[in-house]
Amino acid sequence: MQLTNRKKVIEQKPMTFAERIYFPAIVKGLRITLRHFFKKIPTIKYPEEIRPYSKNFRGQHSLKRDEEGRERCTACGLCALSCPAEAITMTAAERKKGEEHLYREEKYASVYEINMLRCIFCGLCEEACPKEAIYLDGPHVTADYLRKDFIYGKDKLVEPTFDITKLKS
């Protein structure tokens, strides 16, 4: 017995003459493919063309420097603490005399590593940082062959120094 009216019995009708000679259907199909032939192709040819990133795209992390080119990070560990994927590890060190031009505060991270295989690019480290030292403003993390190569150290994360005086000239 039928409880709902949703069941629909589809009966197979014998094909009509127009269907049996196939031609109307074939012409219809040919028209569809021809329309697609002249359609604009949505493919983006990757290496030559790059899809524009959205403004708030979260890509690879970068450790920022201040206006004098010193590392902002003070190795407080809040980013590591906030990280839900536990991707960040760091070792803190004390700034020595004569290193004032390298690190902004007395403490800095001698080792700072992010495991890009663990990272979920949620951006919580960025939010947690009190020193505005870490941002996820880079491009995609690229593919690699070995797991160990996905652990990015300071060599890949710290943004390169640039001399602002040179920029002006």
Partner 1 sequence: MEWSFVIEKLILVFIIFVVTLLIAMYSTLAERKIAGFMQDRYGPDRAGLFGILQPLCDGGKFFFKEEIIPAGAHKALFILGPTIAIITACISSAVIPWGQELQIGDRTISLQVADVNVGILYMFGVIALGVYGIMLGGWASNNKFSLMGAIRAASQSISYEIAMGLSIIALLMVTQSLSLKEIVAQQSGFVNWNIWAQPLGFIIFMVCAFAECNRVPFDLPECETELVGGYHTEYSSMKLGLYMFSEYINMFVSSALMASLYFGGYNFPFMNDLGLSANMITILGVVVFFIKILLFIFFFMWVRWTLPRFRYDQLMNLGWKMLIPLAIANIVLTGVFTLIKDTYFS
Annotated binding residues for [4Fe-4S] cluster, written as ranges, equal 73, 76, 79, 83, 119, 122, 125, 129
Q: Which of 17, 37, 46, 145 binds partner 1 (CB under 8 A)?
A: 37
DSSP, collapsed to helix, strand or coil, labels residue 136 as coil
User: What is the distance, to the nearest Å, from the Cα of residue 12 to the centroid of all Cα atoms in its chain?
Assistant: 51
Stretch that binds partner 1, among 3-11, 30-38, 90-98, 124-132 (CB under 8 A): 30-38
Residue 29 binds to partner 1 (criterion: CB under 8 A): yes
Ramachandran bin of 86, using left for φ above 0, alpha for ψ from -120 to 50, beta for the remaining angles = left
Distances in Å between the Cα of 106 and the Cα atoms of 72, 81, 97, 98, 103 are 11, 21, 10, 12, 7
Alpha carbons 92 and 66: distance in angstroms, whole number: 19
Burial (0-12, 13-18, 19+ Cβ within 10 Å), 137: middle
One residue of 15, 18, 30, 50 binding partner 1 per CB under 8 A: 30
Is 5 a binding residue for partner 1 by CB under 8 A? The answer is no
CB of 79 to partner 1, least distance (A): 42
Identify the residue among 7, 8, 13, 39 touching partner 1 (CB under 8 A). 39
Nearest approach in angstroms of CB 145 to partner 1 is: 23
Residues that bind partner 1 (CB under 8 A): 21, 26, 29-30, 32-34, 36-37, 39, 41-43, 45
